[in-house]
Amino acid sequence: MSDAGLHDADEALLERLLEGDHRALARAISRIEDRAPGYRGLVSALYGHTGNATVVGITGSPGAGKSTLVDKLAEHYRERGETVGVVAIDPSSPFSGGAVLGDRIRMASTVGDMDVFVRSMSARGRLGGLSSATADAVVAMDAFGKDRILVETVGAGQNEIDVVRTADTVVVLVPPGAGDTVQTLKAGILEIADCFVVNKADREGADRTVQELQEMLQVGAHGPGGDGGTSGFTAHDAGHHGVRGVAGHDSDPDGDDHLEEGWSPPVLETVATRGTGLSALLESLEDHRTYLERSGELAARRRARHGADIEALLRDDLGALVARELETVGGVDALAEAVADGRSDPYRLVDALVEPLERCLADEDVRDRAEGDLEALLE
C-alpha cells in the first residue's frame, strides 16, 4: 500500500512548488492526476500550507458560458493584484477514455500571465476519484499561494456535483430561455447553488428564466420536507450545505440579514462576454464569503468536505485491496464463470472473499496497534 510519507524526489518538487515555481505546480498536479506512486505523501505535505485561498466552483450546462465567466473573473482578480488558479474539468469519452479539453480557448483575457494558472482535467474514465483529484489539485494551488481558485465543471451528474463541492461557494450558471433546463436543475444542482447566474442575459427569455428560478427557490424554501412542493423540489438542503433560510426577493444580499436567516441564493444576470453584471456577481461572492465566515458555515463546510475526502480515500484503498484479493484468486472472470455454470452464486463467493479481511479486522493485536497509530496521529 502506498504510504503517506514524502519521497525524496517529491521533497524537491514540494520545495520548488512552495517557492513559487509554476512548473513544479504543474508537475505536482500531474502526479496527483496520475495517482503516481508517492503522490499521497506529496498531497499530505501540501496540506500543511493550505487554507489561504478562497475557492469558488462554477457549474452549468454545456454552452452556459462558464469558461467565459471564469476568464472575466480571473481578469478582475488579476487587476486587484491577486493570483488565480483555475481547474477546468471536461468529461472524457466513456469509450476511448480520451478527451478534448477546450476550456482554455475562452480564457484569453489573461494570456501570457503565469499568475493565472489554468489546468484542464478530464474524468479519465474513472467513476469516482475525479472529485478527490480535483480537491487535491486545489490543495496544490492553495499551497502554492494562489489567492483565488476557480473550479469549473459541467453540471451534468453526481460526479460533477461532487467536484463542485470542493468549493466554498458554488455558482450555478443557467442559460436564458431554458425552461427545461430549470426543470433539470432540480436534480441536485439547485440545492448546492449559493448563487444563480443567468448568463447571456441579453438574449430573449432571460427575464423569464430569472423569474422561474426565483419561484423555484421560494417553493424550495417554503415547502417543509418538500411534500407539498408543486414542483417536487424539496427543501432538503441541510444535508448539502447546511443552513439556508427563507428565500426572499433578494438580489440585494445583505450580510446581516443572512446571519439571521441563513443564506438565500441570489439570482443574478450577466453577459459574460461583455462583462455586464460582473460587479454584482463579485459583490455576491464577497457577501457569501462574509456570510460563510461569520456564521461558522465555512468551517462546517470544510469539515464536511474533509469528512467526504476521508471516506472517498478509504473507499479507494479498500477497493484496491479488494481488487488485489480478486487478482490472487484468478480474477473476477473465473468467479463469474462459476456463477454462470451454476457451481456457485455471487453471495457465497463474496462472503468467502471478504472473510479473511473480516478475520484480520477482528484480530485484537491488529486492532490495538491500529488504534494506537490512529491516536498518535490525532494528538
Binding residues for another protein, rule: CB under 8 A, are 2, 9, 22-23, 26-27, 29-31, 33-37, 92-93, 96-102, 104-106, 111-114, 117-120, 122, 124-126, 129, 316, 320
Residue 9 CB, nearest distance to another protein (Å)?
Answer: 5
The answer to whether 237 and 245 have CB atoms below 8 angstroms apart is no
Distance between CA atoms of residues 178 and 190, nearest Å: 15
* Residue 16 or 240 with smaller CB distance to another protein: 16
* Residue 44 or 120 with smaller CB distance to another protein: 120
Grid cell 457549474 — which residue? 59
Residue 97 CB, nearest distance to another protein (Å)?
Answer: 4
The answer to whether 128 and 316 have CB atoms below 8 angstroms apart is yes
Residue 122 CB, nearest distance to another protein (Å)?
Answer: 5
Distance between CA atoms of residues 267 and 252, nearest Å: 10
Distance between CA atoms of residues 173 and 182, nearest Å: 11
Residue 297 CB, nearest distance to another protein (Å)?
Answer: 32
Residue 154 CB, nearest distance to another protein (Å)?
Answer: 16
Distance between CA atoms of residues 131 and 160, nearest Å: 8
* Residue 73 or 192 with smaller CB distance to another protein: 73
Nearest to 138 by CA among 192, 78, 86: 86
* Residue 86 or 219 with smaller CB distance to another protein: 86
Residue 144 CB, nearest distance to another protein (Å)?
Answer: 12
Nearest to 277 by CA among 104, 84, 68, 59: 68
* Residue 120 or 181 with smaller CB distance to another protein: 120
Strand order in the sheet with 54-60: 116-122, 84-90, 148-154, 54-60, 169-174, 195-198, 267-269
* Residue 114 or 361 with smaller CB distance to another protein: 114
Distance between CA atoms of residues 15 and 21, nearest Å: 9
